[in-house]
Structure 1
Amino acid sequence: MAARSEARAARLLSASGRATSARVDPGPYTNGVPDTEYLVHLAIGTPPQPVQLILDTGSDLVWTQCRPCPVCFSRALGPLDPSNSSTFHVLPCSSPMCDNLTWSSCGKQNWGNQTCVYVYAYADGSITTGHLDADTFTFAAADGTGQATVPDLAFGCGLFNNGIFTSNETGIAGFGRGVLSLPSQLKVDNFSHCFTAITGSEPSSVLLGLPANLYSDASGEVQSTPLVQNFSSLKAYYLSLKGITVGSTRLPIPESTFALKQDGTGGTIIDSGTGMTTLPQDAYKLVHDAFTAQVRLPVDNATSSSLSQLCFSVPRRAKPDVPKLVLHFEGATLDLPRENYMFEFEDAGGSVTCLAINAGDDLTIIGNYQQQNLHVLYDLVGNMLSFVPAQCNRL
């Protein structure tokens, strides 16, 4: 999980509709470890063909594997078959949507002359290549009365796909700020998600275009913080993180550590596609040292490294006390419950509890592990992010 979050951080460093909802649930276990992505369930085409896409607030392209799929990762849910959809059509390279791709060209040969061909590559080695198309998307209606269909949404038909894809996903649903993202294409003013426990299997809803009632089933105070504009990166959602408290001590981390630089680097984003929160090296070291000093347990050297992962040895099946972890944002405070920053597992030598935070580069990433059972609302018009603790499986 730590390695995948670090790879995700490298990936991020590179690069009017009807109210609808979609089901989202944690990815399955792989070799006994939970896949740290949340999968959105919807359908594409007429008749609808189901897809399972990683909910990703850090990117904008919506894409899924498509037949004939010469190079694809194997999934129980097979590739989308465009030939079976009566509403499917390819987009020309002259289309405005094609212009919004980072890398695109005019396809020839089997893809048809003037077809919009895309390459979407990431710093972690993941890549999808295919053609940009449009089709009808089918969602659950937000009022629970049936289904909502939206025609002519642009998406990538991935024919050559490879990289770090290890869950049951068939592609990625970009929820970022870019023109190609699902919220942008639906022209919604807001969207919200509430992630159930990553170690469980219960689903919840993603609401698009319907202001969420954050007070329903909430177990705390609703708080709001501004979304910070970064014109060098129009895809991710940036926040103003001011500081971190461990236990009762506000750590001496300069606010500039988490702030956007004038050249558009650094800053703090909230990201649904990253598992663990990632901090700059200097900030992580202070968090690491504070936990080491305050947790009265021996560091587990077999699973810990000096500055990337911190684990403690504990008596078998014990759940020892750990210090509080609080994130301070502009106008809001996120007091994390233990299960949102510590995780336990058992190995041959006994039990281990680990801090679910990584050391990274200058970009701070608030991951989905820290967002479990937190109802998060993105106000795209007011440029605000609101959140409140909630039992997400009850929403």
Structure 2
Amino acid sequence: MAGIQKFPVRSVFLYLVLIIFSKLSFGGSSSKHSSGFRLKLIPRDSPKSPLYPGNLTHLEKMERLIDFTKAKAELRRMRFHTSPSSSMFDDEKYIVALRRQAFYYIAEMKLGIPGQLIYLVLDTTADLIWTQCEPCVHCFDQEAPIFDPKASMTYSRVPCRDRHCSYGNENDYFTCLGGYCTYNLTYNNSLLGSTIGSSSRDYFHFYDDTSGYSSTKFNLFFGCSNYTTNLSMFIDPQNIISGVMGLNLSPLSLNSQLKDRIQGKFAYCVIPWDENFPFDVHALPFDFGDDVVLPQRKIPMEVSYAKVGDANEYYLDLRDISVADSHCFFVFGTFDPAPGEGFILDSTSPITMLTKNATKTGINVYDKVITKLRNYYQLQHLSPLLGPDNPTNYELCYKNKENFTDFAWITYHFRKSADYVVDAKFMNINYSGGFFCVALLGNDGPQTVLGLFHMQNMRIIHHATDFDHGSIQFYPADCAEDHF
């Protein structure tokens, strides 16, 4: 395997804006036949993006990926491994990273009849769909008008008997008040904010790239937020965000609520961060239902997943990792699924993170993999950048050697001999200063996370068989060939 990735200053894939468009052939909430729709992704760093941050240096863009990856890992650790009374998570660097970069995807849509424009953060680790609503007792600023339920002919509050309003559960955030379902959702023990409001239903209209907002609509359960606090990730002078759209395994998420219509399927293909694919002109599709197409000739690798406790992320049964052709031979149980532990796939994490302390075995996975990579490049006689000579937060960086092509690759070995190979050209970041770094980070928490950097040129298909079980299929593809 050969090659190393080059990154143009003008575009970094991870920070994208989602505009929903497409082949939405189904109508209101009563329709049961399958159909599909597609999300159109535009790079966040493109001048066409409403979140365009302005000119950043190449190093600044790369370091943003590291900051946000670490911030997300700390959030997961806090969620599963911190008691409600804890006063931890006071490290300002995580708060700043989230405030600056939390908007991976933004979904543009209209809500109600007649439709009112809203923009929601698309989050594959979140459950509840919610948006700020009038009367807004305490809200963060947003450029678009706040959704007014009274102006919608189809808005309704949800009664306590609604199946989504599981207020009898000990760990739930719903409450029955005056016969209606209310919610109080906190993020990481309120340290990162909360949203409080009425559980509601109304029609969501998605954007059609050809005809604009058409009559296509879904009647969805969502949170109408009248009180938001401390959500610093949304505080920005030009903020257009009004809330969050969840895409995890919870029954409250968009994909779960539309499960019958989309056959439990959604898929994406990660276009390489390569100078040959300028993202300001080539968008990434995110497909649902009938728009998800299996390959004609290639047989996808399939890995099953099952819901783990109260966690709604996608946990996969990883058994081992190898560098080039050398296995690490991790002890059985190192990646066993458990809330906040094990191996998860996260399409909103930039860089892959390997745990430094696997709960059941205590093994430092990151150190073992890094050691194998260091030994590999030592045999290739590459010169490492050490101490102050390394301007990045990556541990392994090397001076480029003329005509060198023998870069290391990584393979993730799953149960039933399913091997996920990360091509060598998607293992490294090449800097303009004449050096490259291995794109891997260590996680002080017990979880290992497969990030988007290791998903480049891989089509990834989620297929839920029910709310608790399903599979994820992978197969190599030329993702740049995807067009609308």
TM-score (norm 2): 0.64
Compared CA separation, residues 211 and 350, structure 1 to 2 (3 A): closer
Q: Is the 8 A contact 2:342 2:447 kept in 1?
A: yes
Compared CA separation, residues 53 and 257, structure 1 to 2 (3 A): farther
Amino acid at match of 2:253: S
Equivalent residue number for residue 271 of structure 1: 346
- List per-residue Cα deviations over 1:129-174 (Å, max 9, x = no partner): 1322211112367999985734430112344150445897543321
Q: Is the 8 A contact 1:65 1:79 kept in 2?
A: yes
Compared CA separation, residues 124 and 75, structure 1 to 2 (3 A): same
SS of alignment partner, residue 353 of structure 1 = strand
Give the Cα separation in 1 of the matches to 2:305 and 2:312: 12
Equivalent residue number for residue 334 of structure 1: 420
Equivalent residue number for residue 335 of structure 2: 258
Does the alignment pair 1:310 with 2:395?
A: yes
TM-score (norm 1): 0.77
Does the alignment pair 1:187 with 2:265?
A: no
Matches within 5 A, 1:345-364: 345-346=431-432, 351-364=435-448
Amino acid at match of 2:473: S
Q: Is the 8 A contact 2:123 2:246 kept in 1?
A: yes
Q: Is the 8 A contact 1:214 1:387 kept in 2?
A: no
Shift of 1:182: 1.0
Shift of 1:27: 5.3
Q: Which runs of 5+ in 1 are unaligned?
A: 6-15
Does the alignment pair 1:294 with 2:376?
A: yes
Matches within 5 A, 1:188-227: 188=260, 189=263, 190-197=265-272, 200-201=279-280, 202-210=282-290, 212-215=292-295, 221-227=299-305
Equivalent residue number for residue 474 of structure 2: 387
Number of aligned residue pairs? 369
Equivalent residue number for residue 195 of structure 2: 129
CA RMSD of aligned residues (A): 3.9
Q: Is the 8 A contact 1:236 1:269 kept in 2?
A: yes
275-284 or 151-160: which moved more? 151-160
Give the Cα separation in 2 of the matches to 1:71 and 1:345: 45
Give the Cα separation in 2 of the matches to 1:318 and 1:155: 55
Q: Which has the larger radius of gyration?
A: 2
Amino acid at match of 2:369: V
Give the Cα separation in 2 of the matches to 1:318 and 1:357: 27
Give the Cα separation in 1 of the matches to 2:408 and 2:203: 49
Compared CA separation, residues 269 and 204, structure 1 to 2 (3 A): same
Q: Is the 8 A contact 1:373 1:389 kept in 2?
A: yes
> Which of 4, 14, 25 is residue 41 of structure 2 equivalent to?
25
Q: Is the 8 A contact 1:344 1:354 kept in 2?
A: no
Structure holding more strand per residue: 1
Does the alignment pair 1:59 with 2:144?
A: no
Compared CA separation, residues 78 and 247, structure 1 to 2 (3 A): farther
Matches within 5 A, 1:12-161: 16=32, 18-25=34-41, 28-29=44-45, 30=53, 32=56, 33=61, 35=101, 37-67=104-134, 69=136, 72-73=139-140, 79-99=146-166, 102-106=172-176, 114=180, 116-122=182-188, 125-131=191-197, 132-139=199-206, 149-158=216-225, 159-161=227-229
Compared CA separation, residues 38 and 288, structure 1 to 2 (3 A): farther
Q: Is the 8 A contact 2:321 2:328 kept in 1?
A: yes
Give the Cα separation in 1 of the matches to 2:374 and 2:332: 23
SS of alignment partner, residue 285 of structure 2 = strand
Amino acid at match of 2:248: G
Shift of 1:379: 1.5
Q: Is the 8 A contact 2:193 2:232 kept in 1?
A: yes
Amino acid at match of 2:375: A
Q: Is the 8 A contact 2:307 2:313 kept in 1?
A: no
Shift of 1:177: 1.5
Q: Is the 8 A contact 2:271 2:456 kept in 1?
A: yes
- List per-residue Cα deviations over 1:217-254 (Å, max 9, x = no partner): x9x65211111342x13511211111111122111322
SS of alignment partner, residue 165 of structure 2 = helix
Quote the sequence identity (%): 22
Q: Is the 8 A contact 1:22 1:41 kept in 2?
A: no
Shift of 1:285: 0.8
Shift of 1:181: 1.0
